[in-house]
Structure 1
Amino acid sequence: MSGLFTSLAVMMSPRGLEAVGNGAGSGGTAFLAVLALAAFAAICTSRNLESIGKGRFRATPADTFVFGFLDAARLFTLTLMAVSWLGIAGYAVNEIFFVWFPNLGASYVLLGLVVVSCIIADENGMDVFTICLTLAFCAFIYVMVMSSQPADLGTGYPTVLPALLPMDVPETLLASGAAGWLHLLFLGVFAFVGFDLPLAFENRAGRCVPSVLLGFVAFAVFSWVALLLVPAEKLAESTVPHLLVAREGLGELGRYLVGGTVVLVTVSGLLAFFMVAGKRIETVLAEDYRAHSTKGAAVLLAMVVALLLASGWAGEDALESLLSAGLCFWFGTYALADLLHLIGVRRAGGGILSLLSGLPVMLVHGGAAAFCSLHIQFPAHFYYSLGGMAVAGLVFGAGWFVKDRPLREELALAAAAAEELMLEQEERDLELEEAVPDTEDESLKIVDYK
C-alpha cells in the first residue's frame, strides 16, 4: 500500500480543485467528457511507463531516460506547487478559521507540521498522510453530494438524486474555437497531474488506477454540482470555485468543511511529495541510510519551499510562468512515453489497432503540453526552466540507464536466442524440402505401342 494514493493527494490539491471548477465553468457538461478522456489517458500512460520499465516494448535501448525526465519534472513542478498550495492553505486558515492569524504564518505552521510528521510519525508520516487524505476526500464528497440536495431537506444525508444538467456547450467555448478546446483539454489533464507518482514506489500500472478512478468520481460530482449551483461564467473566472460551490450549497458549514479540505489536502500533498522524493533519493544512498531518505528529503525540500515563501513567490505572477514550464515538461514527458511505447509496439509487430489506440493518448498529453507554452508572461523564466529540467533529466536518466543495464543484457540475450532458434527452424525446413524426392505419378505416363 506504500505510496498508493500519493497521486490522489496531488490531484485533489487546491490547484487541482481550481482547475476542475474552471473547467466546469468553461466547458459545461462537455468538461465531463474531457475528464473521462484525461482519466483514460492517465491509465494508458501508466501502462506504457510500466511496459517501458519492464522492457516489454521498447523503441530504443535508451528508453529509460524517460524516467529521468519524469524525476526532473516532478521535483521542479511539485516544489513550485508546494509553494502555491501553502499560499492558498494559509489564505484558507486566515479567511475561514482564524482571521487574526497571518496568512504566511499559517503557511509556515503547516509546512513545519508536515516536516515534523515525516521525522517523528510512523512510516515517515504515512499514518498522518492517510488520515488527512481520507478526511479531506470524505468531507469534500459529503459537501458536494449534500449541495445537490433540496435546501429544505434538512436530513443530513442524501435522499434524492441530483437534478439533471442540460447537455449543452457554453457559447463562449464554441466562439473561442480550437484555443478554447485546447484550454479545456489542459484543465482536464491538469486535474490528473501526478497520476504516475505511485510508480516511484513500484513500477506497476495497477497502482495508478485507484487514485485516477477516485479522482474522476470526485471531480465529476464536483463539476455536476457546481454547474447546478453557480453560473458558469463565475466558475470559469474564480480562483476558489470549490469554496463558491460549498457556500452556495451548504452555507457556512460547507465553507468550513471545504476550507478544512483545502488545509488537509495541502498537508497530504506535501507529505506525498516528500515521500516520493525520499523514495528517489533512497536509490543512491547506502543501505544504512535508506531508512532516513524521506526525513532528509523533507528537511531539504522544506527549506527550499520556506525560502520561496519568504521571498514572496506564492503571490508572484512569475511563479505561474515557472509552473507552466514544469507542467509543459511533465505533460511532454507523458507524451514521450506514449510515443516510445507506440514505436516499441510497432517494432514488435503490432498492427494498426495499436496505432489507433495509442495515438490519441499521446495527442491528449501532447496537446496539454502545447497549451502550457502559450500566453507566457515571463518567457525567460519559462525557457530557462525547460532547459534546466532537460539537463537534470539527462543526469537522472543516466542513472536509470545504468540501473537498466542488466535488463537490457537479458533482453539482448533473449532476442539473440530467439533469432538463433528461428534460423535453426528455417534450416530444418530447408533440409526437409531437399529430402523430398521429385517424383512423378507413374500412372500419368501412358505409352502407346501401336
Structure 2
Amino acid sequence: MFNINIRTGERDMKKNIYDIIIVGSGPGGATVARELAQKKQKVLLLERGNSDAINGKIFQAFTNTGLPFKNVLFTHNMLAMVRSTTVGGSTIYYYATAFDPPFDMLKKYGVDISLEINEAKKELPIAPLKKELQGPMTRRIMDTARDMGYEWNPLNKLVYQDKCRPNCDLCNIGCPYGAKWTAREFVDEAEQNGATIVTNANVKKIIFDGTTAVGVSYRRHMIPEKAYGKKIVISAGGIGTPVILGNSGFQSVGKDYFFDPLIVAFGEVKDIKGGKEFPMAAGCHFSDDHYMMTDMTIPLPLYLGFTAEVFRFDRLASHSRTLTIMVKEKDRLGGYLTSRGGVRKKLDPADKRSLLHGYDRAKEILKKAGAKNIYKGWYTAAHPGGTAKINDIVDTDLKTEYDNLYVCDCSVIPESFGLPPTLTLIGLGKRLAKHLS
C-alpha cells in the first residue's frame, strides 16, 4: 500500500494522491500524460504557462515566448536562447518539422525507440508539404540548391495540410487554424481520458520521503501548493527541468549541455514578392559538417527584429523580397546553468567556424538564386538540452537515482543534437509510458 507522511498543518492530500504527476506539457510530458490517461491511470499534469486559445497574434506570442529572462535567455555574449511557457510548450511556436531521431546514438546508451516512432508515425499527420503549400521563396531556394548538387528536399512536417493556408505566416506566432500538430492535442486527449490539468503552476521542487519521490511543491497565483503521487515525471524542458532538479538536491545537473545555435542568411531578389509562407519547408542535413540548412521565411515583425539587431537598417523595407536560409549547428557540449536557469555558455570557436562555413554555403545558394545585399543575422539558439543526460542523471529507463522519479524531455538527450527534437521526445515519452504502466 502506498503511504505518504503529511506534516501537521498541511492540507490533507490523502484523498488526492495521483498515480502519476507530470511537470510540463511539451511533447515529452504531454505524450506520457496521454498514454497513461488512456490506460486509466490517475494523472496530474502541471504546466507553468496558460492554456489560452492560440489566436495568431503577436502580443500572445510575445507573452508566451518572448519575455526577457523568462522565455528569452541571454549568454554573456548576447546569444539569445528562446523557450515557450504555455500548454504544449514550444510546439505552439515551432516549425512543425518531424525529423527522425538519431536511433544509433540513442542505442549506444541502451535506448531503442524505433517501435515507438513507428507508432507515432501512424498516429500523427507526418508528410512533406504539398506543392501548393510550399511558398515561392521555398521553391526558389530548393531549386537553386538542387541545381548546385545538394540533396535539398521537402522536410516531413507535423501538419494537417487540409487546414493549412497558402500565403500565411501565422505558424511562426501560433497557428489559430489548427493546422500544426502541437502537444496540446495530447494534453486534450489526456484530459478527455480523465487527467487533471493545472495551469499557471510553477513547480519549485520535488518532495521526498527518504530516497523516494512522493510529490512536488509549486506556486499557483503566488499561493504555495503541494501535490502527491506514486510516480513523478519532470518534463519542464532543457532549462526548467535542471532548475527543478537542482532545487531538489541534484548537484550535477545543468552542466555540459547543447543549445543548437543557428544563424540566418538574408538576400534580396527582385523577381519574387512573398514573405508569407511556411518556414523550414525544405532543406538539407550536412551531417559531416555538423549542421543543417533550410529555408526560413519569417513574418515581418521577426524580420525587422533580426535585421535591426545587426544594424542593417537599409534592408528594413525589403521583407517581401528577401530569401532566407537558416544554418543550425550541432554544437559541442559545454557551459552550465545557474540555479535560476541563467545560461552560461560561450559559443565554442569551432562551432562558430562551422556556422560561418554554413553561412558561406548559404551565401553561394542565395547568389545563385539571384539575391543581392546578402547579410547574416545574429547568433540564436533553438533547443537547449542535455542538462540531465541518460547515463548521468537518469538511467536507460529515464529514472533518476531516487525511486519513482523520472525525467522526459530534451534534458535527457546524452549527446549534442542539432536536429528538431519533437519526434524524438514523443518516442521517449511513449517508451517511458510503457515502462510506467
Query: Could you say which TM-score interval applies, normalised by the shorter chain?
Result: under 0.3
Q: Which has the higher strand share?
A: 2
Which gives a bigger RCO, structure 1 or 2 (Cα 8 Å, sep 6+)?
A: 1
Query: Which has the larger Rg?
Result: 1
Question: Could you tell me the TM-score, scaled by structure 1's length?
Answer: 0.26
Question: Could you tell me the TM-score, scaled by structure 2's length?
Answer: 0.27
Q: Which has the higher helix share?
A: 1
